[in-house]
């Protein structure tokens, strides 16, 4: 949600656990439905929960919420401050808002005349939706403007030519900042891309790259996003192909297999190495360092390894990706620990997210990404019901989620999705045109710094860039 006109808030139905059109007709029993819903609402919950400690350091959080065994930061009745008081308690922030914008752009593709276009990320449409959201928020929710916009997105979106050539503007801004912008705003919104035509991971990969580059051009952002969506699309793909099995879904095996893939098989390390070495815009002297950092964050075993509250790097995309992986490591650790009395997934979901957001920093973004990943594993049916019922705009979101699920499912039922798995044997053989780009081709010199000042683009101080 964004900054609202409190005198003109439209009323929606109270939040309900049941999602009309899905859970009330037992459609959620389809495994991949459950996992997609878990991903979407896990994103929302992690975002909303993380807002309670966003931009605070660990010491401050300890003072506000003295750590006690099995005692969690309250949701939604956390302690408010000047920053988080701008949102209604229980509501998500810009991280989930932008995920919703991507979902809306896919839904608009239903009007396309070609089957392929229906599943492709439409950059022009997303750019329009993003700019409109920045200026107006979601008007159905009586927003006045978007709120919580990050510096990287703001620098791109407020450029005079963003709507005309968004990706070139993004490249220009990145080059103009000496290729230093590698923000987590690229990753926070990306989970939804994993679900669109998830059976075809080439489509997922291409959509992810296109979406990332429309605001974030840095290779570290691209790598983080494609690894994240590949992980989730793999989970969804496996759930779909195994949905007729009589065995109950083993979410623990999903986590174990994923950690093995990261720590032992090294597939994602190979994928990252290929993209860094093939990308002509990655300076040669940085390639080794970027890959080393990638592996360090992906394989972190303790929260201290991530230093999430370090004020100089709280928005670094690798930290966000690494915290999501560490969150599922912690989930598995507590599940296997004999001292853990309650091993119910909904309890462990909240337990590990509580740990994550107690680390401070950009906790709503870290929570959104971790919540999406863990939600895709345990499914909607295992998310904390009490937390879901505290999200004030859930019923508004439910309607759009049903439309999106129906779009995804209808393409599968009509055999409009060709299965394609990206693995060790083919990931380096895909024709990815962005790898052939150079700093000067395509050229961005014609773009001059004519960006408007975002702090003056709205009449309300709540709509400024963080």
List pLDDT tens digits, range 337-394.
Answer: 999 889 999 999 999 999 999 999 999 999 999 999 999 999 999 999 999 999 999 9
132 token code pair: 């409109």
Count helices and strands (H / E) in the chain. 17, 2
- The structure tokens listed for 337 are 């620990």
CB atoms within 10 A of CB 390: 18
Residue 400 exposure: Cα atoms within 13 Å on the Cβ side = 20
Tokens standing for 444? 């961005």
Task: Say how far apart CA 160 and CA 231 lie, in whole Å.
Answer: 36
Residues 295-338: tens digit of each pLDDT: 999 999 999 999 999 999 999 999 999 999 999 999 999 999 99
Alpha helices in 306-362 (DSSP H): 317-336, 345-357
- pLDDT at position 245 is 61
Mean pLDDT of 175-204: 97
Which class for 285: exposed (0-12), middle (13-18), buried (19 or more C-beta within 10 A)?
Answer: exposed
Strand, coil or helix: 348: helix
pLDDT at 74: 97
pLDDT at position 252 = 96
* pLDDT value at 112 more than 80: no
Residue 118 — pLDDT band, cuts 50, 70, 90?
Answer: confident
Q: Are 286 and 342 in contact (CB under 8 A)?
A: no
Mean pLDDT of 383-412: 96
Question: Would you say the pTM of this structure is higher than 0.85?
Answer: yes
What are the angstrom distances between the C-alpha of 416 and each of 75, 195, 209, 214?
A: 42, 15, 22, 27
On average, the pLDDT of the chain sits at 91
């Amino acid at each position: 949600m964004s900054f609202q006109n409190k005198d003109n808030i439209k009323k929606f139905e109270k939040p309900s656990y049941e999602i009309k059109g899905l859970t009330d007709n037992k459609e959620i029993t389809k495994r991949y439905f459950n996992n997609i819903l878990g991903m979407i609402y896990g994103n929302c919950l992690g975002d909303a929960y993380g807002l309670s400690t966003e931009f605070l350091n660990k010491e401050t959080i300890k003072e506000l919420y003295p750590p006690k065994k099995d005692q969690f930061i309250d949701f939604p009745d956390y302690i408010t401050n000047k920053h988080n008081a701008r949102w209604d308690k229980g509501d998500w922030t810009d991280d989930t808002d932008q995920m919703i914008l991507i979902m809306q752009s896919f839904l608009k593709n239903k009007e396309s005349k070609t089957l392929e276009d229906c599943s492709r990320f439409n950059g022009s449409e997303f750019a329009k939706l993003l700019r409109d959201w920045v200026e107006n928020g979601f008007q159905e929710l009586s927003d006045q403007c978007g709120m919580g916009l990050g510096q990287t997105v703001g620098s791109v979106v407020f450029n005079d030519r963003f709507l005309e050539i968004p990706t070139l503007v993004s490249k220009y801004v990145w080059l103009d900042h000496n290729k230093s912008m590698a923000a987590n705003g690229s990753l926070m919104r990306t989970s939804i891309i994993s679900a669109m035509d998830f059976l075809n991971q080439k489509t997922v990969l291409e959509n992810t790259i296109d979406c990332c580059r429309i605001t974030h051009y840095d290779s570290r952002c691209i790598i983080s996003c494609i690894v994240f969506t590949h992980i989730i699309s793999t989970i969804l793909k496996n759930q779909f192909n195994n949905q007729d099995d009589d065995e109950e879904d083993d979410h623990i095996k999903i986590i174990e297999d994923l950690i093995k893939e990261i720590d032992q098989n090294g597939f994602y390390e190979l994928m990252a190495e290929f993209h860094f070495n093939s990308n002509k815009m990655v300076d040669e002297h940085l390639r080794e360092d970027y890959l080393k950092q990638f592996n360090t964050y992906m394989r972190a075993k303790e929260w201290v390894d991530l230093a999430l509250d370090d004020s100089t790097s709280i928005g670094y995309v690798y930290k966000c990706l690494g915290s999501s992986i560490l969150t599922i490591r912690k989930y598995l650790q507590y599940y296997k620990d004999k001292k853990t009395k309650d091993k119910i997934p909904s309890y462990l979901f909240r337990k590990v997210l509580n740990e994550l957001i107690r680390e401070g920093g950009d906790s709503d973004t870290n929570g959104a990404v971790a919540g999406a990943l863990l939600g895709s594993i345990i499914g909607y049916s295992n998310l904390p019901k009490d937390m879901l019922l505290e999200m004030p705009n859930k019923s508004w979101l439910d309607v759009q989620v049903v439309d999106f699920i129906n779009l995804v499912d209808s393409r599968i039922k009509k055999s409009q999705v060709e299965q394609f798995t990206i693995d060790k044997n083919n990931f380096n053989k895909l024709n990815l045109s962005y790898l052939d780009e150079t700093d000067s081709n395509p050229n961005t010199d014609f773009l001059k710094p004519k960006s408007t000042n975002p702090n003056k683009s709205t009449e309300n101080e709540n709509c400024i860039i963080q």
